[in-house]
Amino acid sequence: MTNPTTTPGSDTGESLQERAEQTLQAHAARSEHQLHELESDMVGLLGDSGTIQEDRDGSRRLIESVRADLERTRRALARIEAGTFGQCTKCREPIADARLEAIPEADYCTNCA
C-alpha cells in the first residue's frame, strides 16, 4: 500500500477519478472480505443438517448481491485503467461529476440508468 501524497503546487487536490479509484479499491476490498465471510458461513450452513432452507436461500441471495456489487466495482476500476472512466457504457456520453461522486461504480448516466 503506497502512501498517497499531495502533489506540490496543486491546490485543487486529487481529481475526481483519483478519489473514485481510492473509493472503488476500498469498496472492492470490503466486498471481497464480506464475500469470503459469507461463503464461509454458507459452508457452515450446508454442514448443519438442522438448517432450514430459507436460511440458505437468504445467504445465497446475499452472496449474489455482494458478488454483483463487486463485479460492478471491478468494471469501474477497469474503466479507470482503460481511460474510459466517467463514460456511460450504454450511450458513451460523459456521466455527470455529481453522479460519479455519489456512485463511482455507476455504469450508466442518469438518462440510461
Sites of contact with Zn ion (CB under 5 A): 88, 90-91, 109, 112
Nearer to Zn ion, 34 or 89 (CB): 89
What is d(CA 70, CA 29) in angstroms, rounded to the nearest whole number?
Answer: 9
Nearer to Zn ion, 30 or 99 (CB): 99
Q: Least distance to Zn ion from the beta carbon of 19, Å?
A: 22
Which residues lie below 8 Å from residue 25, measured CB to CB, with a gap of 6+? 77
Q: Which three cell numbers stand for residue 7?
A: 502533489
Q: Least distance to Zn ion from the beta carbon of 36, Å?
A: 34
Q: Least distance to Zn ion from the beta carbon of 113, Å?
A: 8
